[in-house]
Structure 1
Amino acid sequence: MLNVKQIVFIFIGTVLFATAEAQNNAKINADELTYNFGNIAEADGLASHVFTIKNTGEGPLVITRVTASCGCTQPEWTKEPIAAGKSGEVKVTYNPKGRPGPFYKTISIFSNGKKGSYTLAIKGNVTPKPATPVFTFPYSIGDLKLTSKTILYNTVRPDEVLGEKISIINDGKTSLTVHIGKVPHYLTVETHPATLQPGETGEMTFLLDAQAAKKKGRLTTEVPVEVSAISQKEVSGKIQVAANLIDNFTKLSPSEKVMTPTAQLSGTLLDFGKLPEKGSFIPLIKAKVSGTFDITNTGKSTLIIYSASCDDERLDVSGGKKEIKPGETATFKVSLRPREIKTKLETLVNIVCNDPNGPVRLIKITAQK
């Protein structure tokens, strides 16, 4: 004969077991597994769709988490338990900014209604923003708009002739003519067409002949540009050109490669920290603040430093050696005047050498104002 306590215990256990069984019998379903946005415009911004999630089981459905295959896709979902036979939602928002073209993203729903995850998907095609003159041509010399005011040749071997170009457009209301001033003998610069009608596009081409330059190391120059238009004052500007002229290492034999020099830098960052404010220490403001970096030759032949320089005229690079023998270390000094630094400084020191495994080395220079 069971006593009252035993009967109550059995009853409670039966209820808990039935509740657990009901909870385990939740089942997740959706009206659609994949939603096609079709064509969406990048310019229109975020695009969203709501998936209806149904509980076709017998117990409450609890969605514990929802994840997306890409950070560009953000899910939101019903946090409360979804009763049997009822529905909840999973809202999926896609960010098309900077992602032109077709896309396919998956969304994984984790719940007590399915072992593992229940997968949904979105797809579509993003039509890019139309290019505008303000964005495409951010630089200007009068009414002449340019895609850039800098030409950078990363590395150029002695026997190479390399070309670069800058796209241009006449953003004025009258025709304008572009004149190129005197340039170094190793550089050829032309404008096509030389005269542009309003709204017409063209390009400036730059041809660098390394053999004609007859040097190795960092090479920098300025190309003067004059823009003239009818009934308007002539406007002048400059294009900055820089190149690293290196050795031709392709001609090295296997035995020669074993005997090459190796440049080892003490670091690739030189941080001056926060510079003193004006008036905080007068002698220091008028003087220079300096930092150093070392170059050690860990190779088997003499390391030649063709140049160690910075394109930023506010910085000076000095010291060191032009030739560093195996096992030797040379110290270079980088100096700046705090009063010439008005905002946060970020620039580079370019080192060009005869190390075939790294003929161009960069050291980042930073300072806070």
Structure 2
Amino acid sequence: MRTLYLTFLFACFMTALSAQEPTFSESLKFQERSFDFGKIKEKDGLVSHEFTFQNVDKKPVAISGMSSGCGCVKFEYPKYPIKPGASDKVKVYFNPAYRPGFFSKEVVVMTNDNKNYTRIWVKGTVEPYEHPVSERYPYEYGEGLWMNFEIMAFGYMNEGDKKKMDLKFANDTDKEMKLFFIIIDGNTDVTFTSPYTMKPKEEKTMQVTYSYSGKFPRVTNVYPVVNGKTLDKPLKVMCSKP
């Protein structure tokens, strides 16, 4: 009896689960299921297309939402029920920023309180452009040097703890850059590898290691030296007390 009861409960659970899953519906008949943007330029920004559809059902159909697996796709759709036989549109936007090359994005259109769904697609090819270095390296140090950190915060550290982080930097000049880093107060808790010879527009990554000994202040100023010139702005490397 117990086995029969458990089998009955499992069957009820599976029935309830299947009842919650949306089913494909052709109540909204789209004039086109897929639209090809062709070649688009990344620097031109957002592109969009309107998909026209008709409600071929015998009752009103309401769009309850739209979704895509990519944050680069946005939507607009009517927020009211579409009467039988009536036509309307949904609008799909694609953001090509940092998405070079071919793309194909599925868009799911949910209807009737998410009980039903249908699909449309947008596709195309993005022609990339060279982004300003400041978009990837927000901190300018001078002499054409940009870095991804102004403060390298290693978080809570006790004496004897050791942590590592990557410091990324770029030469935003048309000339070769000779770069190294110095710690003026002699703090040996913070270690790294330098110097670097960087080609014009080149980007590099340096691993910074913090081995907290308790002998030095928890905040260390690391100064970049570019082509023999010590820059005024330091990189702050720090840890906190637990």
TM-score of the superposition, structure 1-length normalised? 0.44
One-letter amino acid of the counterpart of residue 237, structure 1:
K
Question: Which sections of structure 2, spanning at least 5 residues, go unmatched?
Answer: 1-25
Residue 188 (structure 1) aligns with: 191
* Cα distance per residue 1:187-240 (max 9 Å; x no partner): 2233352x3232222234322222x3458xx822211223236xxx76432001
Change in 2 beyond 3 A, CA 1:189/1:83: closer
Higher relative contact order (CA 8 A, sep 6+): 2
CA distance in 2, matches of 1:78, 1:208: 55
User: Contact conserved, 2:108 with 2:119, CA < 8 A, in 1?
Assistant: yes
One-letter amino acid of the counterpart of residue 136, structure 1:
R
CA distance in 2, matches of 1:81, 1:170: 57
User: Contact conserved, 1:179 with 1:225, CA < 8 A, in 2?
Assistant: yes
Q: Which of residues 64, 67, 70 in structure 2 aligns to 1:69?
A: 67
User: Contact conserved, 2:147 with 2:167, CA < 8 A, in 1?
Assistant: yes
CA distance in 1, matches of 2:81, 2:223: 68
Describe the SS at the equivalent of 1:134.
helix
CA distance in 2, matches of 1:118, 1:189: 55
Q: Confirm whether residue 236 of structure 1 aligns to residue 226 of structure 2.
A: no
* Cα distance per residue 1:291-334 (max 9 Å; x no partner): xxxxxxxxxxxxxxxx5xxxxxxxxxxxxxxxxxxxxxxxxxxx
Change in 2 beyond 3 A, CA 1:173/1:74: closer
CA distance in 2, matches of 1:180, 1:99: 31
One-letter amino acid of the counterpart of residue 67, structure 2:
S
Describe the SS at the equivalent of 1:191.
coil
Describe the SS at the equivalent of 2:111.
strand
CA distance in 2, matches of 1:189, 1:31: 59
Question: Which sections of structure 1, spanning at least 5 residues, go unmatched?
Answer: 1-26, 245-306, 308-351, 353-369
Q: Which of residues 206, 209, 214 in structure 2 aligns to 1:207?
A: 209
CA distance in 2, matches of 1:200, 1:237: 21
CA distance in 2, matches of 1:78, 1:138: 40
- Aligned positions, number: 205
Change in 2 beyond 3 A, CA 1:133/1:209: same
One-letter amino acid of the counterpart of residue 241, structure 1:
V
TM-score of the superposition, structure 2-length normalised? 0.63
Cα offset, 1:38, TM superposition? 7.4
Larger-gyration structure (1/2): 1
Cα offset, 1:76, TM superposition? 2.8
Residue 166 (structure 1) aligns with: 167
Identity of aligned residues (%): 12
User: Contact conserved, 1:186 with 1:209, CA < 8 A, in 2?
Assistant: yes
Residue 88 (structure 1) aligns with: 87
Residue 45 (structure 1) aligns with: 46
